């Protein structure tokens, strides 16, 4: 089978509907076990969300094989800069300067809990991609994926 699976993402933050997300994973497990899944998030959620996600049974932890049992295999977190000031300028998080610390804490909490975390950043001219990669890895992410930047016309 050549199924790319399901990515929970979109115009809103998928983790703000955590109960619905967990229920969906359970329904998929019953109907189609082994379906690959991941979450794409801003990471701008409180630490209780990381704890609830890891405690839900919906996400693979440590060396659990998400391919054999339907679970979320990875979480992709947008880490768009390596410093609080640049992060605030580029992202404009609703909680201001605290946003950078919040996303870094979220990445660390998931990684320390055994979740496979990938970070992403945009190749913006002001972003030091190498420094952002070092930060992502230091926080426990497995990798940093760089997406192209397209300036507004």
* Residue where the block lists tokens 């950078």: 100
Kindly state the average pLDDT of the residues 103-118: 95
- Chain-centroid distance, C-alpha 61: 14
Mean predicted lDDT score pLDDT of the chain: 89
Q: pTM for the whole thing?
A: 0.91
Does residue 4 register a pLDDT over 80? no
Q: What is the pLDDT of residue 5?
A: 81
Q: What is the pLDDT of residue 134?
A: 98
The confidence band for 30, taking pLDDT boundaries of 50, 70 and 90, is confident
- Tokens linked to 4: 């790319």
3-state secondary structure of 74: strand
CB 38 within 8 A of CB 7: yes
Q: What is the pLDDT of residue 31?
A: 79
Q: What is the pLDDT of residue 10?
A: 82
Q: What is the pLDDT of residue 65?
A: 60
Kindly state the average pLDDT of the residues 58-75: 77
Helix pair 98-112, 47-55: axis angle to 10 deg: 20
Conformational region of residue 141, where left means phi above 0, alpha means psi within -120 to 50, and beta covers everything else:
beta
Residue 130 burial (CB count, 10 A): 10
Q: What is the pLDDT of residue 53?
A: 94
Q: What is the pLDDT of residue 69?
A: 67
Q: How far is 76 from 56, CA to CA, in rounded Å?
A: 18
- Span between the terminal Cα atoms of the chain, in Å: 42
């Amino acid at each position: 089978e050549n199924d790319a699976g399901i990515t929970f993402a979109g115009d809103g933050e998928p983790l703000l509907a955590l109960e619905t997300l967990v229920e969906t994973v359970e329904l998929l497990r019953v109907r189609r076990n082994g379906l690959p899944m991941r979450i794409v998030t801003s990471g701008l959620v409180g630490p209780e969300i990381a704890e609830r996600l890891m405690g839900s049974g919906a996400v693979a932890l440590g060396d659990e094989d998400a391919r054999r049992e339907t679970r979320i295999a990875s979480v992709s977190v947008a880490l768009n800069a390596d410093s609080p000031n640049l992060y605030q300028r580029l992202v404009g998080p609703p909680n201001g300067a605290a946003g950078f610390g919040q996303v870094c804490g979220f990445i660390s909490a998931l990684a320390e809990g055994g979740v496979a975390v990938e970070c992403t950043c945009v190749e913006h001219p002001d972003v030091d991609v190498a420094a952002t990669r070092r930060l992502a890895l230091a926080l426990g992410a497995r990798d940093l994926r760089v997406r192209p930047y397209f300036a507004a016309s």
